[in-house]
Structure 1
């Protein structure tokens, strides 16, 4: 079985977003591992309109060309890690919108989160975990939570994320979880597909 392919989805599109810093830092840590292949996916490259389809893509094909392109991209991966900014105790609208624009592509795949904000994005991440479950993803237990005190030092240039050992440890623990679950679920999906194929033969 090939290595699981993991997407690191940048979940903010604001011009002055903080998300680029954790995405770059996390991708660098992931690049040192041999058990997964990680690709950074930027929602800026998929400027989907706010959901305005006749129904979920689980039942009705999306008319938006960008949404179709997004769905094809999402389908390439065995698991996902989302950067999660916290706005007013919830995730960004653009990330929730991106989740809503796919369905079957998320199914039976691992999900993890790199949150940031006043309480490390914890409240946004908890909401996203519920969305992930509804989309039939398997959110892992461990995550990364970059609290405001750490963010402030990164934003003013006095420190870099890699200088916070507790964050480096959290990132590796999250990657351990994602790698294990992505491999297990990939094996299960392949076994299920083989079983369905044999029944159809």
Structure 2
């Protein structure tokens, strides 16, 4: 275990009714807790209440809405992120894009990992697009990810993956990489303010 826990924010990216995202997130949170290097928080975009339109940059450090201010504080407090994303029509959900775009400097120089779910691709097309989005907010995406093709069939009624061993191995490898990047980038941010 690292000397100082990594503050990991798990972002649940779907806001649709009947979504499987919370089931995937619950399983992933258990994996992160077992890993032992993380102090966890959850940002469920279905509960964040973000406005449906961007409100622009903060004025004197304050955003136009209290919901964006609270979201910005949660993003700023994190050392790293795990984004739980579905794939809709070969892309990621619009609510997730709105959330990413709602804040800016709070994402800077922090690592982002992905746990995706969807149809046959398991959400990997959404992840590839999100990598391009996160680079624009100066975040570092982790190479390895966890994906669940046909996710509704991959989880039991109790919320466990049917291939628990395989999913667990993938999660551990991704979490190991996330710890490495989170520690390295946290040291770098402490050493010198991020320049862009």
Give the TM-score taking structure 1 as reference length.
0.87
Q: Within 5 A, what are the aligned runs for 1:1-201?
A: 2-53=4-55, 55-57=56-58, 62-118=63-119, 119-148=121-150, 151-154=152-155, 157=157, 160-161=160-161, 163-193=163-193
The whole-number CA distance in structure 1 between the counterparts of 2:74 and 2:116 is 23
For structure 1, the 5+ residue unaligned runs are 197-201
Q: Who wins on radius of gyration, i.e. which is larger?
A: 1
The whole-number CA distance in structure 1 between the counterparts of 2:53 and 2:61 is 13
TM-superposition CA deviations, 1:77-128 (whole Å, max 9, x none): 0010000100111101111110010100000000010000111100101111
Q: CA RMSD in A?
A: 2.4
Give the TM-score taking structure 2 as reference length.
0.89
Secondary structure at 1:114 match in 2: strand
- Shift in alpha-carbon separation, 1:158–1:62, aligned structure 2, 3 A: closer
- Shift in alpha-carbon separation, 1:164–1:62, aligned structure 2, 3 A: same
C-alpha deviation, 1:44, in angstroms: 2.4
Aligned length: 192
The whole-number CA distance in structure 2 between the counterparts of 1:61 and 1:159 is 39
Secondary structure at 2:133 match in 1: helix
C-alpha deviation, 1:7, in angstroms: 0.5
- Shift in alpha-carbon separation, 1:88–1:110, aligned structure 2, 3 A: same
